[in-house]
A and B are shown apart, each in its own frame.
Chain A
């Protein structure tokens, strides 16, 4: 909230791009131009579909993360949670095949399980943070380890694979689509648009920003601080479930290496998009741009042999920092 008022009162000097608002978009456009310049296949239908579809998992999670961070929280457990949900989902679907047969029935049960487990996991995080009053960082660091160990234990240290027959039926959820747009992209877009509406147009969205800005003031303004906070974690848990529903049909497996570092990618996307890490201001469309920037970097590095593959991580780091520096300039001038 404070940031918004700052941008509107800042003096404008003629024609100038407001980097604070448009920084991430400028970075995204620059990356797209670079990609198109380096490889003619970059803008092909196949590559654009690949990049958008693989962004969907982190993207769907990052939309939920935007609400959590806007209200001053943090969730480090989402990557492990996704792996755990994927494991439970696969085990339940495999277990139901003998009684229910191979078909959409089993898959619908699996999807429901993913949502319910996600909701429950988010509820556990949220209750520990709001009711037991433990720091979000510590709670989710703890559950991160718990979920990661549980998936390793469930998979007996190996890989859980979905029944072959079910997989063939489920496959189109990742690889198919409507009117040439893959399902993960459709779902990601729907989640992002809904998220943007909730953030901007509903009391819940405004309460998130108010709590992140100053929770005491929010409390005195009759905002149910704990309830709203709890809801952000539950919402994030459900969205992790949704992301997992899109993830499982891709390779049909879950192991202890599933979803490693997704939490950091999601948090990075949120911050690149202009949401304030300390809370108080969040924007969903910025998060979407942030997610796309992160996946485009990897894609461009694979498509062009610019640098030694050993340096991929360094290039990613530089671009992430640059994207945020572009936005922060405005603040420095203040």
Chain B
């Protein structure tokens, strides 16, 4: 492994001398994202691929290198390989985790490349040229406000959390703050890991444990699928409703159709990777200023506006 990386590195140095004339015209943009390990990431992979395909047609002098990593270590290697062998001019990266990726991304920046960071901020400021992200605090707050509005007299709810990460913590903290003083009581909170099967089992156990549950914050549409199935199995459909999140097409369809168990959804669009790649491409294709921060807000989807969030062709 080490040998092949070394060999590839030596090759790249050789190529850098011979290919320097060519590199002036064509700019290479590296895109490094986590692999499709859950529904949202699957949607994100889909949007990354479709955006790259569209941009390669639109700008013949832009080349793209896409790599997907299944853990932070692999992502670091991917980025090192891109620097060593593909001679990238820009890096669009959705970091697996903030801490382990901060150093490697900083070295890319120090080498004089353009850096776009997506969704998860780095642990040190002022490394990236462009930051494109969803708003996890808003995601939790919008969800909490919906509960408050839907349950003016308070009630008992259970919460399913995602994979233990900063993202999950920010969402849950904002949610708890939003429902403060509303009389809504969280009687159970467990990790469903953004996974349908885990959420199904956690919800089964919540239903065994609590005789009265008025609503569920599933906090993710994949988890909502498992939660709904567990509620159906227990025949308690008319006792509670479920709020997911992220904007999976099946869930938006149910909101659109006026399903009483799914009164709403909250967006956290996986297409934000497309926004980031587009803006990065524009930096090379135009003279317009592109550096800064681009925060995509989390919006509440209800029956009235669901149609404008419905993408039947997306896998998510």
Contacts and interface: CB of A to CB of B under 8 A. Distances in A.
Interface stretch (A46-54, A114-122, A131-139, A205-213): A46-54
Interface in B28-70: 35-39, 41-43, 45-46
A303 B205 contact: yes
B36 A299 contact: no
B101 to A, nearest CB: 21
Contacts of B234: 46
B42 A159 contact: yes
Instruction: State the main secondary structure of chain B at its contact with A.
Output: helix
A309 B46 contact: no
A156 B43 CA distance: 9
Interface in A241-257: 250-251, 253, 255-257
Interface string A146-166: 000000100111110100000
Interface in A1-46: 39, 41-42, 44, 46
Contacts of A251: 196-197, 200, 225-226, 229
A299 to B, nearest CB: 6
Contacts of A257: 37-39, 195-197
B202 A302 contact: yes
Given A46-B208, A302-B209, A157 B190 contact: no
Contacts of B36: 152, 157-158, 256
Contacts of A161: 250
A258 interface: yes
Nearest to B193: A257
Contacts of B38: 255-257
A47 B208 contact: yes
Contact of A155 (B191, B250, B315): B315
A175 B200 CA distance: 13
A298 interface: yes
B204 interface: yes
Q: Assign chain B's interface to a size class.
A: 35 or more
Nearest to B45: A157
B233 to A, nearest CB: 6
A250 B200 contact: yes
A47 B37 CA distance: 30
A299 B41 CA distance: 28
B206 interface: yes
B24 to A, nearest CB: 35
B190 A309 contact: yes
A310 interface: yes
Contacts of B229: 250-251
Interface string B64-105: 000000000000000000000000000000000000000000
Contacts of A156: 42, 46, 315
B209 A158 contact: no
Interface in B219-242: 222, 225-226, 229, 233-234
A54 B201 contact: yes
Contacts of A47: 205, 208
Given A39-B209, A158-B39, A298-B201, A253 B196 contact: yes
9 contacts: A46-B207, A47-B205, A54-B201, A158-B316, A251-B229, A255-B38, A302-B202, A303-B209, A310-B164
